[in-house]
Amino acid sequence: MLGLTTPNPFETFVGCLIWPILFWALWKPGEPPVLLFAAFFQAFQVFTPVVVANFAGETLDQTTKYQLDMSTAFYLAAISIVVLALGMKIGSGSASPQYLQTVNKNSQELSSSKLAIVYAIFLVISTFLESVAFAYPALTQLLLGIASFRTLILFLIAWAGFRYPRFYFLAICTTVLEIVIGFTGFFGEFRVVLFLLLVVYGGTSVRISRLIKPQIVILMSLLLALAVYWQGVKSDYRGFVNQGTLTQNVQVSLEDRLSFHLDSISDFGTEKVEEGFESGLERLGYIRFFAGSIKTVPNLIPHQDGRLWSEAFANLAPRFLFPDKPIIDDSRRTNIFSGIRVSGADTGTSISIGYVGESYIDFGVPLMYAPIFALGLFWGWTYRLLANTGFIPLLGQAAATTLILNVAVYFESSNIKILAGGAISLLVYLTILHFGSKIVWKWVTSKRSNLNQKNQLDA
């Protein structure tokens, strides 16, 4: 009822109504709620501009200098999240009680010492692959897909860490290390491990009420604090690490990057906190470019009748087989269809309208919801396919969670990156689960569990 007294009463009401719908559609007791998290985070991105406008005492349309119909963009985006969630619900189905029991049994077989060794090995491998991936455009998505296997190992560590005391130290150490690695990179990928921890924690109980514990408060507080700090120093940090070259390349040593953060933390006062918080909210809310597209299409530019989605599917063709395949610049799409000027590839930047806006540009209302629903079906089907693939259900669950977290969380993701990243990661994980799950399982479990598994197979 309090929302009805705000400057945006109906937008606030709709925004609050989304959450129970998402929980109804995507809460799966006993499973990591990664599909719920993906839909929830996108809904949060859509709802954030409404919250900011309410606190500013303004209507949603008054918050932008571009004279955009932000309210219409909000309503269309909110419906899109619900449609996406319904597609996910239908596509993912549900797990059997026997499956969940096997997953829990698998977790008891994990070895903390072996997990630590495997994590260290894949940390080196993934760091190398990520460093060379963009130097070989024909192999970029494949190399990044293989590199993401590190997140799968992190899932196993977190899964065991929330259940067994013997994994606490390893879980804490890997979390701290991942945060440090994230802050010393260019993009601030520290949030990946925290998102993973939130999702894995959500799978520790079959009842939502039992999840309200100090752990969730600590995780949320840590995520908020780190996000505020990152937004407060991001601009200065990136200018420092690329040495003013306007590229996304890190050109200073690790020692210098750590020194930068140590100095920044010591100088991070109240003014910086406010700046980081406001910048974070502005960055999180992501319907402005969609609103710009509604203003431009079809008034100035006609609907594209599926061209943008066709380009996304055409982009699935491997570049090493089709070297002349055109490179599609997300920022160029944004400049053309939203009417809002953004930096592009020439400055090492890529800013997209987002898959919802691209669906609107292609088909308008209501046909735009067809590809969004299909995308939800695809994510749900992909999740369940990976979860049920291979000989070790816990590995399948780890692969499914990792893929969704990597490609399906952000509202601003373009259809090009969603399809390419999702399809290639799916092929990589299916290959690993089909042909290597037993090998991987031997790497991360104790000899006793391997012997028991062999005896069961022989029997």
Q: Is the pLDDT at 3 greater than 70, yes or no?
A: no
Instruction: Give me the domain span that covers residue 445.
Output: 2-212+286-290+352-458
- Could you tell me if residue 449 is inside a domain? yes
Provide the pLDDT for residue 138: 73
What would the pLDDT profile of 417-454 be if each residue is shown by its tens digit? 999 989 999 999 999 999 999 999 999 998 655 545 44
| Averaged pLDDT, 63-78 | 93
Q: Rounded CA gap, 262 and 266, in Å?
A: 6
How high is the mean pLDDT of the chain? 91
- Could you tell me if residue 14 is inside a domain? yes
Q: Rounded CA gap, 112 and 118, in Å?
A: 10
What would the pLDDT profile of 12-33 be if each residue is shown by its tens digit? 999 999 999 999 999 998 899 9
What would the pLDDT profile of 288-336 be if each residue is shown by its tens digit? 999 999 999 999 999 999 999 999 999 888 776 666 677 778 999 999 9
Q: Taking each helix axis from N to C terminus, what angle separates 415-444 and 447-458, rounded to the nearest 10 degrees?
A: 90
Question: How would residue 158 be classed by pLDDT, with cut points 50, 70 and 90?
Answer: very high
* DSSP letter, residue 20: H
Are 420 and 166 in contact, with CB atoms under 8 Å apart?
A: no
Are 148 and 398 in contact, with CB atoms under 8 Å apart?
A: no
> What is the b/e burial string over 15-48, where b = at least 16 CB atoms within 10 angstroms of the residue's CB?
beebeebbeebbebebbbbbbbbbbbbbbbbbbb
- Could you tell me if residue 340 is inside a domain? no
- Could you tell me if residue 188 is inside a domain? yes
Q: Rounded CA gap, 27 and 457, in Å?
A: 33
Q: Is the pLDDT at 196 greater than 80, yes or no?
A: yes
- Could you tell me if residue 343 is inside a domain? no
Provide the pLDDT for residue 244: 78
Residue type, 361: I
In 389-452, DSSP assigns E strands to none
Provide the pLDDT for residue 459: 41
Residue 244: how many CB atoms within 10 A of its CB?
A: 8
What would the pLDDT profile of 329-351 be if each residue is shown by its tens digit? 899 999 999 999 888 766 667 88
Helices (H) and strands (E) counted in the chain, each on its own, are 20, 0
Question: How would residue 65 be classed by pLDDT, with cut points 50, 70 and 90?
Answer: confident
**What is the dihedral angle through the alpha carbons of 309, 146, 438, 390, rounded to the nearest 10 degrees?**
-10
Residue 96: how many CB atoms within 10 A of its CB?
A: 10
- Could you tell me if residue 404 is inside a domain? yes
For the chain, how many residues are written? 459
Provide the pLDDT for residue 348: 62
Are 242 and 250 in contact, with CB atoms under 8 Å apart?
A: yes
Q: Is the pLDDT at 202 greater than 60, yes or no?
A: yes
Task: Report the first-to-last Cα separation within the chain, whole angstroms.
Answer: 62
Q: Quick check: helix, strand or coil at residue 237?
A: helix
* Backbone dihedral angles phi then psi of residue 29, each to the nearest 5 degrees: -55, 130
Q: Rounded CA gap, 134 and 68, in Å?
A: 36
Residue 229: burial class (beta carbons within 10 Å; 0-12, 13-18, 19+)? buried
R_g of the chain, CA atoms, integer Å: 22
Provide the pLDDT for residue 346: 67
Q: Rounded CA gap, 315 and 241, in Å?
A: 31
- Split into its structural domains, the chain has a count of 1
Provide the pLDDT for residue 448: 57
- Could you tell me if residue 268 is inside a domain? no
- Could you tell me if residue 401 is inside a domain? yes
What would the pLDDT profile of 225-276 be if each residue is shown by its tens digit? 999 999 999 989 988 998 877 777 788 999 999 999 999 999 898 888 998 9
DSSP secondary structure letters along 283-337? HH---HHHHHHHHHTTTTS---TTHHHHHHHHTTS-TTT-TTPPPPPHHHHHHHH
Provide the pLDDT for residue 50: 96
**What is the dihedral angle through the alpha carbons of 373, 375, 379, 384, rounded to the nearest 10 degrees?**
60
Q: Rounded CA gap, 37 and 15, in Å?
A: 16
